[in-house]
Amino acid sequence: MIKFYLYHTTIYSYTNPVIESSNKILLYPYNDLYQQLVNHKLTVSGSPNISTYIDDYNNRVGFFTYTPPHTSLAISSEAEILSKSQPKYEDKMEAKDQWKYLEDIANVIDYLPFLSIEKNESLTEINKIVNDFRKISKTPYEFSKKISLYINENFVYQKGITNVFSTIDEVWNIKSGVCQDFTTIMIQFCRLAKIPTRYVSGYVYASEGFRGASATHAWVEVFIPGHGWLGLDPTNNCTVDKFHIRLAVGRNYDDCAPVKGVFRGNEKQLMDVRVQLDTKKRNLNFELINQDVFVEEVKEDDIQNSYRKNLEMIQQQQQQQQQQ
């Protein structure tokens, strides 16, 4: 068992005052048998009321609107988490029975969202590789591990060359990207093999030499008959264990984005994301967390409705660029 201290801060700043900042946040670490949440504090500058609900994928989701004029907005999540080792994978069913089980659940509503294939020009090429690996893989677990290794060895980990708008074709052609891209490609591979696969967002502990630390991280969970959901990290080619902390699961990145939202105003937005996952409690210098929101007078004729500008997509792009 390891005790982790998590600090995750997102700071938005605006060139002009804005109003009505509405944000959806998935910043609530899972609390389950292997990841126990000792305490969690969520702070938003201006102290708006945060309402929460459980979504279709069992994630706790927060929502708030901060109405007064402001030129900055800070969202801080601090948590103390106990992380335990997960049981090692063991084959509990015959290989042929495992593949047959996956066939049987292909139309079950609980798994349908995690079997959807994204159409793209690379589909034929990817499907050929899937078939080749399928022939030499005895079980769904063995197949998934081989795909994780294939992606890890054939894709270059490189920041700044992809974003949330990058398609599977674009990532496939350049064979480069960050954890989000590695995860998205692996999801496509495994779903083509009829293995339910979901996107996971969270964090990974830096001291173990993992890529993807100092920012939000992403990996997959594959459904293995006889075992259940199993986490695999293609960015680091490893099975997910106590060094990974889960925030949210879903079909893709869009379901799991830690922070996204919209605002009204004459705006140019900048975003800074700071993440630390450590075994020691530290006093971090998050400059805006405990400060009041800076307020200026806003003239009504200067306000533009940014809801019509699809700002959510811009925020997601900025957030992905912060990923390691």
Given pLDDT bands bounded at 50, 70 and 90, which one contains residue 283?
A: low
> What percentage of the chain carries pLDDT values higher than 90?
70
The tokens for 114 are 């995690």
Whether the pLDDT of residue 309 is over 50: the answer is no
Given this model, what pLDDT does residue 296 score? 38
Q: What are phi and psi of 261, to 5 degrees?
A: -175, -170
Distance between CA 105 and CA 111 in Å, rounded?
A: 7
The whole-angstrom separation of Cα 48 and Cα 54 is 20
Q: Tell me: the pLDDT tens digits for 246-274?
A: 999 999 999 999 999 899 987 788 888 89
CA 153 to chain CA mean position, Å: 22
Distance CA 298, CA 265 (A): 9
pLDDT digits (tens, 9 = 90+) for 34-78: 999 999 999 999 999 999 999 999 999 999 999 999 999 999 999
Give pLDDT, residue 118.
86
Residue 287 has pLDDT above 70, yes or no: no
Give the residue ranges of DSSP H helices in the chain.
Answer: 95-104, 123-135, 140-154, 168-174, 179-192, 253-256, 311-321
Q: Out of 174-178, 243-247, 308-312, which region has the weakest mean confidence (pLDDT)?
A: 308-312
Q: What is the pLDDT of residue 92?
A: 85
Please say if the pLDDT value at position 231 is more than 70. Answer: yes
pLDDT of residue 6: 95
Contact 34, 84 (CB under 8 A): yes
Q: Are strands 244-250 and 197-204 parallel, antiparallel or unpaired?
A: antiparallel
Q: For the residues 291-315, what does the mean pLDDT come to?
A: 42
Which residue spans within 168-242 are E strands per DSSP? 176-177, 197-204, 217-224, 228-233, 238-239
Collapsed DSSP state (helix, strand, coil) of residue 18 = strand
Q: What is the mean pLDDT of residues 171-175?
A: 93
Cα three-residue angle 4-284-323, rounded to 5 degrees: 70
pLDDT digits (tens, 9 = 90+) for 102-152: 999 999 999 999 999 988 899 999 999 999 999 999 999 999 999 999 999
Q: How many CB atoms lie within 10 A of CB 322?
A: 17
Q: What is the mean pLDDT of residues 303-309?
A: 42
What pTM value is reported for the model?
0.86
Domains, the chain, ranges and CATH? 2-83+256-321 (2.60.40.2250), 95-252 (3.10.620.30)
pLDDT at 301: 40
Average pLDDT, the chain: 87
Read off the pLDDT of each residue in 203-218 and give the average, rounded to a whole number. Answer: 80
pLDDT at position 284 is 53
Q: What does R_g of the chain's alpha carbons equal in angstroms?
A: 21
pLDDT reported for residue 307: 41
What b-and-e string marks burial along 60-89, b requiring 16 or more CB atoms within 10 Å of the CB? bbbebbbeebbbbbbbbbbbbbebeebeee
pLDDT at 187 exceeding the cut of 60: yes
Assess whether pLDDT exceeds 90 at residue 316: no
Name the one residue in this structure whose structure tokens are 């068992």.
1
Q: Which of 151, 135, 152 is nearest to 143 (CA)?
A: 135
Beta-strand pair 156-157/176-177: parallel
Q: What is the mean pLDDT of residues 161-172?
A: 88
Q: What angle do CA 70, 76, 77 make, to 5 degrees?
A: 155
Q: Are 214 and 284 in contact (CB under 8 A)?
A: no
Q: Which residue has the higher pLDDT, 321 or 292?
A: 321
Q: What is the pLDDT of residues 94-110, one digit of tens each?
A: 999 999 999 999 999 99
- Among 139-143, 176-180, 309-313, the minimum mean pLDDT is found in 309-313
Q: How many CA atoms lie within 13 A of 313 on its CB side?
A: 7
